[in-house]
Structure formats: structure tokens, C-alpha cells
Structure 1
């Protein structure tokens, strides 16, 4: 999954344990549809079925360098496995290939302060960083300490921010803020710097070790560090540092999406429900939670959807999609949406997205389609999709909480085209609050997934309880959208949306870009 910003601690939490805010908050989208019995599907979608897929993905990673990243053999093997399973279940499957800019670390990045006192500093290279081993003078660039509002620090955003590089090797110290990391790195390179360090901005949620993507390659090594380490470096007079990165970059690597449809007709063929999850991992690990869990849930739902013969009762088609290169910036989903004609795009009724639904220290986060927690509302219909999930959890006496609908996973390209979307998420590198621990269990003060984007994101790094509860909720949502005779709006038509595209925030490489 792309690194996300959470809206959880100070939001409306719904469920049997805690109810807050005015009576209509988060419930302004009242579905007109009659209840749909999805019990056959939710009972058929089991933890064991999902674990079988997760174990197979682990085997694939073990045989292919420890990962399943797009552009590497582990991804191709994962895609082949998914295709075979879908065809066996009766689907017509196609592979949609595309090229993308590939990047990975060939060795762990390193950062040391050499003078005035020697010390090692925790770091990671940015995606699309250049390779190099540079020891040089450190130059702070337009730092704001303490910082102002998030995303406002201008450090490195303009070429004129950079003092002239010295005669010897020079390293720029830059602060996260008002522009993309790639802009900062490119400006540093253009100003004659031999390497760059970008540290986190400093506000709540912007203090940890900074990782992300530059979006496009640069020639100099560029690494990220925490706000604390950045401040400590900035306070050193005439500091010298060593920056090391060893990376592989290929601007024309090929990967693919896997897309499955069922033969036959439904009553409303112009209302296609696209159910998706990203299939790739990061190069650092096997990605069993991120996003093997989403993949396993979507694949198991697809298999049981035909096995229970619910497809024979479907009111609208369901298309199951497994996206490539999500970790490089939602590239697979973006390619799919961009490849559609206007008429094809108009026939997509809704998008469901499942990204990391088995985190060990999990929460039950629902994408906040109506924007009730942070005003990040999705296109018309997204609130109704959100309510499918919140109503389901409430009926099961399970608490849920909204998470920002900010476009940072594969639903982003869909909402950018005005297509309603929704889905589930169990948390990534964010820290569980005491309030969330009271709601969901688990441990406060600890990340939802301590192995996020690491080699330890393996078959031991999932919660079977999370897989059970969120997997059933995912199956329920597919059943509702496929089987409901009245649909989301009670009139068999998707609500009209503005012709103006809704701009979704762009980030990542599941990684942040700014």
C-alpha cells in the first residue's frame, strides 16, 4: 500500500462501543435499497481460503528473491497464480500490460555524520534516487524549525533556495513541505549538490523516518531521515556527512494488471462494479499483509461468488481486478482507468478497494466517502458505499472508524473520474491511539503493522481475526452491490456527477511524494 495519512484519533468512531457527534453525522447518505442477504457469500469466504492464497504468495516470494514487486519475477509469478485461480473459477481473464519507471535498492542506504562527531543515522533511499557514495559538507536549505502548518515549509522548492555549492563535495539538507520531493531533489542537483538529505517536516504525523518517491529519477543519491535527526544535523556547525545509496532504475520496465469478468449477461450490464486490490509488494519484502491480504480477500470472494452461484442472481456485472505497480504510484489502476473510453468509464457503477486488511495491530477503518471526518468527500455515491460497511459492522456489534478518502490507494484514479468508491483498511505504519485500542483491541502506542514495507511482512505478519472480520465485510459489500435490485440510489442509476474531474491527491509510490 502507498503510505497514507490517517484521520482516526479525532474522528467519528462508529459501532457498538462508541458513538459520537450529532445524530446525522456520517449518516446523511441513507440508502434507499432494501436489505440484501449476503450470508451465503460471507459464510463461503473463510479465513482458511484466504490463508491458502497468502501461503502461496509467500512461497512465490521465497522462490523469487523475497519479494513480489512489479517488474520483478515474483510479481509475474503472483499474476500467473491469480490468473489460473480465476480461470478455474470460470472467469474470462485478461492481462493488461504497461510500462513504468522501475526503481529498487540494491543495498541498504547509509548515512553517517562524520564531523564534528561521528554517528550513524537511520535512513532510507527515496524511490528513483541515484547511486553514489558522497562525503561532503552539509548545507541547510531554507529550514523552518519549529515548522508551521503541515505542507507549508518551502525548503528546496525554488532553485534560489540553494546557496552556491562549495568547491568540494556538498550535501543539501532539505525539509519536507510545500512541494514534491522530486522537485527538491532536482533543484539540489541543478544547484550543483552531490547528494541530498530530506527530513520530515515536524508536525504531528510528520516526525518519523521519511520515505517516499521522487517520481522521476535523479542522478544524485537522495535519502530520507526523521525530523529529530534532521534538526540535530541542522544544529551542527560545519558538519560533514557521508551519504550512500545503491539503486537500480529502469524507465521502461513492463508489468501488468489482471482483470477478470464472468461470461453471460445481467439485468443492468451498464452498471459494472469493479472490485480491486493491488497485487504487488515493495522490493524489500514479500508483502503478505501489504497487499497479500487484499489480494487474498478479492480472489476468495471471486471464487466463492461463482461457487455459491450468486452470479446467477446478479443485477449488475462484477469485475475483479488485481493491480500492478501500486507501490510506484497507483500506476496499474491509473493505466486501467486511462485506457477506458468515455462510454466504458461511464458504465462503471462503483469501485471497491481493499488494501491491507490483515494488520497485526488492526483497526477497522472504512474509507470516509461522505467526508464527514475531514471534508475529503468522494464523488456522489461514495457515502452510500461507506454506509454499506458501517451498517454491516454495526449489525455485527463491531466498532469501525473512518479513514481519510484522500486518493492514496487504487481507488484514487476512479474518484478522480467521478466514479463512486469505497473500501477497507486495517492500518499501516501509523500508531494506534489509546481510543482506538479501546475500540478495536490491540496495543496503543504501537504501529498497526510494525513490518510495513519491510522484509518481515511475511506469513507471520497477519491477524486472522482481521482477515475474518474485514474479509467478511468485503464479501458483504460485493454481494450488496451485485445483488441489490434497487442499487445504491434506489433508482437503478448511478447519481450524476459534475463533468469536472474531481482531483484526487497524488502521492507516493505508496510512498509519499511530499
Structure 2
């Protein structure tokens, strides 16, 4: 998963089974059967066929592939290539005809470490990562110039040309993060003659994501260097006033790369009402990526294998293993962008599974109702998907909670295309609360996955209870929608959703 702000701690109005969950735990403590709704979901076969043992075998295979191919499974590496061959081989053995969905993309890379310093009114060297981060698609440059604040006390800072009416030619624009995209700020600064742009975090709350140096993206290559800084650094720069002088060096550029998704359809089913089930196959360079996202890959793969043993589905089920997710949701976005209007209309819904075995896990269902603060209004039918997952967990006597639809995983492009979406998530870099320990066990005050995007995301750091419980939800919902999508889309997909504009593209902020 390419992410930071996960929304794993939902508000009370958006929670599922919170009061009922306490009763469930009490019942377990007394050795009683939980008094939760048992008949809300019809019985399905796949949850018993999709076993944790088989999922674990796939995950162990991905670990071995990583171990013998450079220690990771990132896009463009041997680890990714062999992982894809493994998935293709497993699908073929189950009777599928998998295909490679190839795409080209522009990859932005830094050629050298960036540097950012202040020379006046006092000297100060800023630390990369802690004080500032280069934005993706920042332009190159070696700049020493005065700094000039641009409407820096407003969340509209740098969002209009009028903000730059008196901007000194050649200065470095100092702007606050706010309501418009970073690309808009950078373009306006460039048009006004700025030599570089600094966007500081807004500090609107005490949350780390509102104060720390952040990872942002401009979506297309800027003509000038652009960095994001912490709120503290930004306020210091603004407070320096007219005496401010800074130096900024960025050496970066883009090059064209090729990668691919792996796609496989069930042999039977209605092609005009396809259920797309996706997980990203790639990991980050830091390690094997066995939770992120070997867990989702393995669960979707085993679900595909077992579904092939059942009778022909009413609806086509399309299993997708996305490439280049960790570089900005590229594989899934390229797939959706490459579909015609008719092909989009033939997709009934999308299900996303990204991280299902977090060590300090939760049972999180994507917020199809759009109730959480960080969620945009999802396309029609998404709430029905959320309810299907919740009802399944209810029937198992398990608490679940909603998690934000925030643009952090491969559902993003589907939602923007108006396709009803949903899925499951076991938690990433959010912190577990005391209340959540009552629901799931684990440790309060620690991240759901302390190994997220590190070398420790390996087979030894998977919570198999999480895999077992969440994979049951995956299997049940896939089988359910293979038979009927009526509650979601009235059989046909809905394309009339409002325009969505996420604030995130995977780990990178857009605004």
C-alpha cells in the first residue's frame, strides 16, 4: 500500500458494532455464543474453501521469490517479474487464461540528494525527511535567492495569480498547504517568475500529518524546484520576513518505463456486469512486502483458484493484480484510463484488498457511506458493499469499523470513474487505541503495522488471525457478487457519480 493517513481511528458516528462489540467480547469471556445477527448474510461456500493454510503457502512463495531476487518485489525488479510469473502460473493451473496488461508511464527520480538551507537572517541547514521533502515531479535547479511569503496565512495561499501580484522576480515562493493542488501552486509561482517553491504544512491540528514534512506530488514535471516542509519550518521562514534568503538544490527528472498488471477473468459469467477484484502485486524496495501487499495478493489469488471450482458464476469475476501501485497507483489508473465508456459501464463494482495481515491488526471496511471526515462521497452502491462486509463480520460475531476512502489505494481510479467500490484493510501506519484493543486484541499506542514499508515486512511478521478473518470476508463477498450485484448497481453499473478529487495519490499528497 502506498499510503500514510489511513483513517483507522474512525469517528463514533461512523463506527460499526461498537456497543454490540462490547457485548460480543463479554459473551466470549463467559463462554457464550455472541448475540449478534446471524441470519443477515446467506451462506456461501468460498469462506471454507479459501483456507489460511493455502494463503500462507502463497505468501511464503512470495517471500522466497523476494529472498532470491534482490530482497524485494518492487516494480521493474526481478522480484516483481518472478512474482508475476508465479501468479500467472497459479491462475493457469486453476483453468484461467491470465493476460499481461502492459502500460508505459513516466517515472520521476532524484539523481542526487536534495539540499535546503537558510542563509539569512541567520544560517540554518534543514534536514531531508524531517524538515523537508522533495515533491514528486519537482523540477531541477540550484537556487539561492530571497524568500517571499505568498498569502501565507491563508489556506488559499498561492491558489490564484492575484496572490503573486507584487511577487519579486526570482524569489523563492513560500506558501501554506491548503485547498488547491500543489501543482496549481507551483504553476502560479512559475508564472510569477519564482525560482523555486516551498509549501509548508498547515498545522490545522495536532496530528502528525498536519505538522510534519510531507510527501507531495505535482502530477507533472515542474519547471522549478518544489519542496514540502514541516509547519514549524514554514512558520520560521514566514517570520523571517523581508530578510529571508534561502538556497535550494534539486537534481531530478523523468524517464519512460514499462510495466504491467496481471488480469484474469472467470470462464463464465455476464461480461456486461463484471465484478473486478484487485490487489497490488508490487512492493517497496525496502523489503519483501509480505503484508503490503503479499497478503492481499495471496488472498485474491487463492479466492480465484477456489472460485474456479464452483459452478459457473452469473457475473464475470475479473481478478486483477496491479503493478506500480507503490509509485502512485499507476497500474490500476492506467487500466481504468484505458477502458472505453462501454467497458467502464460493463464493470458492476470494484473490490480492493490491500494489507490483510497487519501484526497489530484491525478489521476495517472501506467507508462506502462516506461518513468519515477523510472520505469523499463514494459512487452509488458503495454503501451496499460496505454493508455486505459488515453483515458478514456480524454473522461471525466479529466487530468491524469503517476506514476512510482517502485515495490511498487502487480503488481510487475506479471511484473517480463512478464505479461502486469497497474492500478490506487490516491497518497500516495508524495508531491503535485502547478501545480498539477491546475489539481486536493487540497493543494500544502502536501502529497497526509497525513494519509498514520497511525490511521487517516479511513472513515472520504476519498476524494469521487477521488473514483468516479478513480472507473470510473477501471470499464471502466475492462469491456473493459473482451471483448477484442487485443491491449495488441494480445489475448494471452506475456512471452518474459526482466528480471526485482525492487529496491523496497513494503516499503522496496532491493538495
Is the aligned partner of 1:249 residue 2:254? yes
Q: Distance in 2 between matches of 1:277 and 1:228?
A: 37
Is the aligned partner of 1:37 residue 2:58? no
Per the normalisation by structure 1, the TM-score is 0.82
| CA deviation profile, 1:463-503 (whole Å, cap 9, x unmatched) | 33322222221122112222x4xx24379942674x53432
Q: Distance in 2 between matches of 1:400 and 1:260?
A: 30
Q: Distance in 2 between matches of 1:192 and 1:75?
A: 43
Residue 337 of structure 1 and its aligned partner are, at CA, apart by: 2.7
Is the aligned partner of 1:502 residue 2:511? no
Shift in alpha-carbon separation, 1:231–1:492, aligned structure 2, 3 A: closer
Shift in alpha-carbon separation, 1:325–1:107, aligned structure 2, 3 A: same
Match of residue 466 from structure 1: 466
Contact kept? 1:11, 1:401, Cα under 8 Å: no
Match of residue 180 from structure 1: 181
Q: Distance in 2 between matches of 1:208 and 1:441?
A: 30
Contact kept? 1:381, 1:495, Cα under 8 Å: no
Q: Distance in 1 between matches of 2:444 and 2:198?
A: 31
| CA deviation profile, 1:110-129 (whole Å, cap 9, x unmatched) | 54445525354313322222
Match of residue 345 from structure 1: 344
Match of residue 129 from structure 1: 138
Match of residue 27 from structure 1: none
Match of residue 76 from structure 1: 81
Q: Residues 358-437 of structure 1: matches in 2 within 5 Å?
A: 358-373=357-372, 376-437=376-437
Shift in alpha-carbon separation, 1:217–1:45, aligned structure 2, 3 A: same
Contact kept? 1:380, 1:496, Cα under 8 Å: no
Contact kept? 1:13, 1:19, Cα under 8 Å: no
Q: Distance in 2 between matches of 1:383 and 1:325?
A: 28
Q: Residues 215-364 of structure 1: matches in 2 within 5 Å?
A: 215-236=219-240, 238-250=243-255, 252-263=256-267, 265-266=268-269, 268-283=270-285, 286-306=288-308, 309-310=309-310, 312-364=311-363
Contact kept? 1:18, 1:439, Cα under 8 Å: no
Q: How many residues align?
A: 483
Match of residue 24 from structure 1: none
Is the aligned partner of 1:141 residue 2:150? yes
SS of the residue corresponding to residue 274 of structure 1 reads strand
SS of the residue corresponding to residue 271 of structure 1 reads strand
Shift in alpha-carbon separation, 1:14–1:193, aligned structure 2, 3 A: same
| CA deviation profile, 1:295-343 (whole Å, cap 9, x unmatched) | 222112222333xx12x25332211001223344433223323333444
Which stretch shifts more, 113-122 or 385-394? 113-122
Contact kept? 2:356, 2:426, Cα under 8 Å: yes
Match of residue 92 from structure 1: 97
SS of the residue corresponding to residue 384 of structure 2 reads helix
Q: Distance in 2 between matches of 1:341 and 1:412?
A: 18
Structure 2 residue runs of 5 or longer lacking an equivalent are 23-38
Which stretch shifts more, 129-138 or 394-403? 129-138
Q: Distance in 1 between matches of 2:411 and 2:228?
A: 27
Shift in alpha-carbon separation, 1:129–1:463, aligned structure 2, 3 A: farther
Q: Distance in 2 between matches of 1:333 and 1:242?
A: 38
Q: Distance in 1 between matches of 2:174 and 2:351?
A: 41
Residue 135 of structure 1 and its aligned partner are, at CA, apart by: 4.9
Residue 276 of structure 1 and its aligned partner are, at CA, apart by: 0.6
Q: In angstroms, what is the RMSD of aligned CA positions?
A: 3.4
Shift in alpha-carbon separation, 1:494–1:174, aligned structure 2, 3 A: same
Q: Distance in 2 between matches of 1:208 and 1:445?
A: 19
SS of the residue corresponding to residue 344 of structure 1 reads helix
Match of residue 118 from structure 1: 124
Per the normalisation by structure 2, the TM-score is 0.82
Q: Distance in 2 between matches of 1:468 and 1:161?
A: 54
| CA deviation profile, 1:84-128 (whole Å, cap 9, x unmatched) | 222222211111111112123455545444552535431332222
Contact kept? 2:271, 2:316, Cα under 8 Å: yes
Correspondence for 2:106 among 101, 110, 129: 101
